[in-house]
Amino acid sequence: MNAKQSNLLLIIAILLTLFALWVHRFFPSKHLVIFEDVAPYSYLFSVELPDGSPSAYWVDENKRKWRCNSPPRAKDSTFGCSFVMDLRKDSGGIDLSDYSHVLLDVKHQGSSKKLRFYARNYHPSYSIIDDNNSNKFNAVNLDTSELHGPISVPLGELQVADWWLLQYNIPRENSKPEFKNITEISIDFESNVPVGIQDVEIYGIEFVGEWISAESWYLGILFVWLGSILFYALNQLRLLRLKTNEDYMRISLLAQQNQTLLQQSDELRRLSTVDPLTQCFNRFGIHQIVTSLESHHQKHISYYSLILVDIDNFKHINDRRGHDAGDRVLQLVSEIIQSRIRRSDSLGRWGGEEFLIILPDTRKEFALALAEKIRLVIHDSIFEIEHPLNVTASFGVAQQKEQEDFATAFKRVDTALYAAKNQGRNCCVMAADD
């Protein structure tokens, strides 16, 4: 795509954005009409007056026209006179959180200056199943002078009643209005309704909202722009990378081949130094480590200790249990030793059932203590769980002397191991020259 095409595409995108911002106002609203879309169970809530008559009764139930009779009473006495619409279904109440307004078409005749609309919300954190009053009481008081036709009341004007907050000791985080699970709505009069007759006729109640809110629509436009910019940037980066790859194809190919050869060389080197059964070093790997230590010894004053381990009566294990069992014993012994030595230490399978541990910068006392610790763990471990097998090991320990080479140090530790075998096995012996 050349610069001219890019500029044309940008102009088209800007025009489409302006059109999208303008067209939102013409989106149709969504409506939920009570008594049509929802058929609630409706009833009048009233109290018994001193003369035995109800405080609320139907004038014409089919037209939802009812009368509230408010007699003289004490100032603090309770009074009930409500038209209640129960919205509960098998799955709970109705979610009105996506609606922004409620259209109330209510006619009122009487001396009361206020008429209340409320909606109760159920939530397990504060609602009590057998106590309908525990459902959150969201309410708004309307001036009866406004009730000359349908009025639009923003749901944001509904507030949680203070008496409900105090009565149920509601924490601050639950004190905001909620419309997620409305179980009932009602039109009523508060306790301070004036003395006399109040007639109310309900023509309709309708909740109105947007299928897509302006905030969500504008945010979507913003995301489209951000996504387009990101796509453009990534595409430009891709084109630049392709061009760069073309320029350096030969160099990249040679570098890749060289890297492959290095990896293969490293893998072959690793395989040549690792025992495949126990995954510790083999004898060649041990010699590589010793060569490195001796080279280090020439530059820096250093020393190491050796621990030579031999599994007792290993031939009997192979003869009685088979070589597979013997291999599993070797693997578990290797795991036990590797889990108890330091990262700086090295473990190798010297041959057959013998293991050699190299401990750089370690004195013989620590090496002997470590050998004893490993010996006890091997002695206490369970080998071959289905058919338990007692396994022990003998240990020879030696510390490298000054100016002593590996062959001499190994000969001393091998002699110490032989002494451990002669002492009855399952023990640790320090090299005599130490």
Q: Which amino acid is at 61?
A: E
Tell the residue number behind the tokens 């939102």, with chain if given: 24
Distance between CA atoms of residues 359 and 366, nearest Å? 10
Beta-bridge partners for 309: 355, 395
Total residues belonging to the chain: 434
Q: How far apart are the C-alpha atoms of 270 and 277, rounded to whole Å?
A: 14
| Close Cβ partners of 338 (under 8 Å, ≥ 6 residues apart) | 280, 347
Token pair in block for residue 345: 């230490």
Angle, helices 364-380/323-338, rounded to nearest 10 degrees: 140
Task: Give domain limits for the chain.
Answer: 3-27+216-245, 29-211, 278-430
415 within 8 A of 424, measured Cβ to Cβ? no
> Among 370, 386, 275, 269, which residue's Cα sits nearest to residue 327?
275
- CB distance 206 to 103 below 8 Å: yes
Distance (Å, whole) CA 33 – CA 208: 9
In DSSP notation, 216-276 reads: HHHHHHHHHHHHHHHHHHHHHHHHHHHHHHHHTHHHHHHHHHHHHHHHHHHHHHHHHHB-T
Cβ atoms within 10 Å, residue 159: 15
* CATH number for region 278-430: 3.30.70.270
Reading the chain (434 residues) residue by residue, the pLDDT tens digits are 677 777 788 788 888 888 777 877 778 889 999 988 887 889 999 888 888 889 899 999 999 999 999 888 656 566 788 999 999 887 689 999 999 999 999 999 999 999 999 999 999 999 998 898 999 999 999 999 998 889 999 999 999 999 999 999 999 999 999 999 999 999 998 767 888 899 999 999 999 998 887 788 888 888 888 988 888 888 888 888 888 888 888 777 767 766 766 765 555 565 678 999 999 999 999 998 998 888 776 555 578 999 999 999 999 999 998 999 999 999 999 999 999 999 999 999 998 999 999 999 999 999 999 999 999 999 999 898 888 889 999 999 999 998 889 999 999 999 999 999 999 999 999 998 65
Q: Could you tell me which of 317, 319, 339 has the C-alpha nearest to residue 383?
A: 317
What pairs with residue 67 in β-bridges?
A: 57, 199
> How far is C-alpha 144 from the chain's CA centre?
52
Let me know if 274 is exposed, middle or buried by CB neighbors in 10 A (0-12, 13-18, 19+): middle
Q: Distance (Å, rounded) from C-alpha 364 to C-alpha 32?
A: 87
Q: Which fold has domain 29-211?
A: Jelly Rolls (2.60.120)
What pTM did the predictor assign?
0.50
Q: Which two tokens stand for residue 410?
A: 């190994």
